[in-house]
Amino acid sequence: MRVLHVAAEVFPLVKTGGLADVVAALPVALAEQGAEVRLLLPGLPAVMESVQGAQVVIDIGACFGALRVRLLLARMPGTKLPVYVIDAPYLYKRGGSPYQDSLGEEWPDNLQRFALLGWVAAHLAADDADPRWAPDVVHAHDWHAAMACAYMAEHGPTQAASVFTVHNLAYQGLFPMQDWSLLGVATRLLSPSGLEYHGQLSFMKAGLKFADRVTTVSPNYAREIATHEFGCGLDGVVRERGDQVIGILNGIDDAVWNPATDPAIAQRYDAERMEGKLECKRALQVELGLDEDDRALLVTVVSRLTSQKGLDLVLAAMPELISAGVQFAVQGNGEPALEAAFRMAQQAHPGRVHVHMGYDEARAHRLVAGADAIAVPSRFEPCGLTQMYGLRYGTLPIVRRVGGLADTVVDVDPGSLASGRATGFVFDLAVPSAFERCVRRAQASFENKAQWRALTHNAMSLSLGWAGPAQAYLDLYAAARGDALAAGSVRA
Ligand code: ADP
Ligand code: GLC
């Protein structure tokens, strides 16, 4: 099975969130199970600078407003994974994030930048971009890659079936309808049964409507996005796809996130030898200027600071929890109001709250290893990776019962304790008092050393790697291809 993954981000080259972690790890796991996998990425500066052995596959010439576009084939640094890179300096060679300029404004030509990504994927699928290779399945991630599915349906029949994964339905890739002519698609796609979304063009709809199969990153989120509450206005479109929308829970890269081998942490440890974890906590308290206090429950947050993540609950509950002896170590960046509120919290509670505004991968490892618990109180959470990193490091998750958080954390109660399944603390209502009570439960459990030891052992014994999810994707690819062959949208 030849699979082309199409995405805007990949760890460690370009990362704004968990998408990059998934795009780095899933292809490798699929390859380990025998698939022949390649990536397709936009030629953002970090990609152009890092990939190895780049060769020109085809000179595409002028398209999507760029004069010079070429398709390169290279390798991901330090791996054998082949990666196609779209070299289009006019569209991709710029600072800032993949989606926004340094002031946080969306790039005004995002339509062209990400339509090009999908368009090149569709040409690879049609077997007219690389004479040496064509995929059996194109797997497009999030709205950035979603146009691949529409272009493939337009070009059809192609060599490949399409699979579209929703990592976050809240980011949809909406553009003014008057720009439709830049896309080069038939006008019949400009209706609600195509790409139109309340008078705008929606790239997310290109994936939801035209992919042979739609997946999302946890079974619970797959159910949630079919509801008005979580559907971000697209729940009707999701429901229309019926059982062609499934949830496959993400894994984590257990080579990168492994306390027994992690080069970034103060002392390595594993489920049987936990002394190192206490050393990590002490080192973190010193590093962050927190009171050196073994008995304080140290709660970390490593997160984008957006309303999705529910961190206003943490802020509101902080004074009470600090009076009760809890410490907080927060790392994140995002909305200025949340950044300012966390800075104020640090000033108000010296020695009890440390806040680092910014993005720092090695530091994230030290926080996850050194904390006792990790808070993820999200309003919605398609999967969430940080609570799984917490589980792997024996840093127990304190989470809201939504999306993938509900699928990955088993709340402590007498039944789950007795059966050895309990792994963390779960609350329901998105209100500060519910979060506060949940942290207090974690604190009580932390003070009961035998119970905490059992919980961390349960958490660290879980199997969270990519092998299982990769197998589920391979089954799905086979089913998508079978259906597409039967429907004649894929050439035999
Ligand atoms: P999302 O993709 O919605 O941001 P996830 O939990 O799936 O949420 O993934 C977030 C990823 O980004 C994790 O790998 C997490 O460690 C990382 N991350 C988020 N914020 C930071 C930060 N400030 N510094 C370092 N890593 C971060
Ligand atoms: C998105 C979601 C997050 C998920 C990640 C990887 O960014 O917000 O919940 O874990 O994608 O799938």
Confidence of residue 417 (pLDDT cuts 50, 70, 90): very high
The strand pairing partners of 274, in sequence order, are none
Helix (H) or strand (E) holding 469: helix 467-487
Q: For tokens 């070009």, name the residue.
A: 155
Residue 243: the pLDDT is 94
Confidence of residue 492 (pLDDT cuts 50, 70, 90): confident
Residue 96: the pLDDT is 86
Give the tens place of pLDDT for each residue, 84-142: 999 999 999 999 899 999 888 999 999 999 999 999 999 999 999 999 999 999 999 99
- Mutation choice for ligand 1 from 144, 386, 402, CB with most ligand atoms inside 8 A: 386
CATH no. for 2-251+467-487 = 3.40.50.2000
The strand pairing partners of 216, in sequence order, are 166, 247
Distance CA 35, CA 27 (A): 9
- As a whole number of Å, the end-to-end CA separation of the chain is 14
Give the tens place of pLDDT for each residue, 321-341: 999 999 999 999 999 999 999
| Centre of ligand 2 from the C-alpha of residue 302, in Å | 14
| Centre of ligand 2 from the C-alpha of residue 244, in Å | 20
Give nearest CA residue, ligand 2 atom 7: 18
Distance CA 387, CA 395 (A): 8
Counting ligands in written order, the one closest to the CA of 385 is 1
Cβ–ligand 1 contact at 71 (below 6 Å): no
| Centre of ligand 1 from the C-alpha of residue 114, in Å | 23
Q: Are 408 and 391 in contact (CB under 8 A)?
A: yes
Residue 33: the pLDDT is 97
Q: Which residues of the chain form CATH 3.40.50.2000?
A: 2-251+467-487, 275-460
**Ligand 2 site, CB within 6 A:** 17-19, 22, 167-168, 217, 250, 381-385, 404
The chain-wide mean pLDDT, for the chain, equals: 97
User: Is the whole model's pTM more than 0.95, yes or no?
Assistant: yes
What would the mean pLDDT of 260-285 be, rounded to a whole number?
97
Cis peptide before 157 (omega within 30 of 0): yes
CATH no. for 275-460 = 3.40.50.2000
Residue 155: the pLDDT is 86
Confidence of residue 180 (pLDDT cuts 50, 70, 90): very high
Task: Say yes or no to pLDDT of 491 above 90.
Answer: no
Cβ–ligand 1 contact at 386 (below 6 Å): yes
**Rounded to the nearest 5 degrees, what angle is found at the Cα of 193, between the Cα atoms of 168 and 163?**
45
Cβ–ligand 1 contact at 331 (below 6 Å): yes
Counting ligands in written order, the one closest to the CA of 366 is 1
Give the tens place of pLDDT for each residue, 23-80: 999 999 999 999 999 999 999 999 999 999 999 999 999 999 999 999 999 999 989 9
Task: Say yes or no to pLDDT of 156 above 90.
Answer: no
